[in-house]
Amino acid sequence: MPSILKLKGWGIRPWKEFELDPATGRYKKRGLKSDPSTLSGYHGVGQELRVKGLGRVLCSVFIHDGELVMRMGNVEWNIFEPGIKFAHKNGMLHCELTLTEPSGKTINFRYRRTDILLVFIDSTYDDLDSELANLPAILPSWAERDKTELIEWWSARAAKD
């Protein structure tokens, strides 16, 4: 497993990629001229968000040591840890990801939407659009997927690095 992981940008215009050090949470971003046509070589996805109380941080989901990990800033969780729960709520200007740890501790991440303009101009905008624009919005559905299938899917792409 490489010490630095390459993550594809997430969102409406995800023409960025990130290099993440999974041990420290430090990352570098790089703008791309076009959207990569494949996920080959990427260990996961990432999106910079403005999170209340944290400032601008990288929200990321990636494969590491055979597990699917979600990181918000400097803290990470195994998405498939028994008892962990993710919930997401869309608001007009902000969204909120609620993470409940197996111990019962609840952590709320309130972040500024990345798709505010679309919410106002697209009368057909729905939750699927929100998931495509805001990485935390898709976490509850990923956490409900088959662990083996999702880890194999990401591992296959990361192996092409």
What does the pLDDT profile of the chain (161 residues) look like in tens digits? Answer: 578 999 988 876 668 899 999 989 999 999 888 777 676 788 999 999 999 999 999 999 999 999 999 999 999 999 999 999 999 998 777 889 999 999 999 999 998 776 655 555 555 555 545 556 678 888 999 999 999 999 998 888 887 65
Count of domains forming the chain: 1
Give the per-residue pLDDT at 123: 53
Give the per-residue pLDDT at 82: 96
Please tell me whether residue 118 adopts helix, strand or coil conformation: helix
Beta pairing, strands 55-64 & 44-51: antiparallel
Give the per-residue pLDDT at 90: 85
Q: What is the dihedral of CA 158, 71, 50, 139, to 10 degrees?
A: 80
Give the per-residue pLDDT at 134: 79
88 lies in which domain range? 5-158
Give the HSE-up count for residue 7: Cα atoms under 13 Å, Cβ half-sphere.
Answer: 32
Give the per-residue pLDDT at 91: 79
Question: Taking the model in full, what pTM does it have?
Answer: 0.86
Q: How far is CA 19 from the centre of its chain?
A: 14
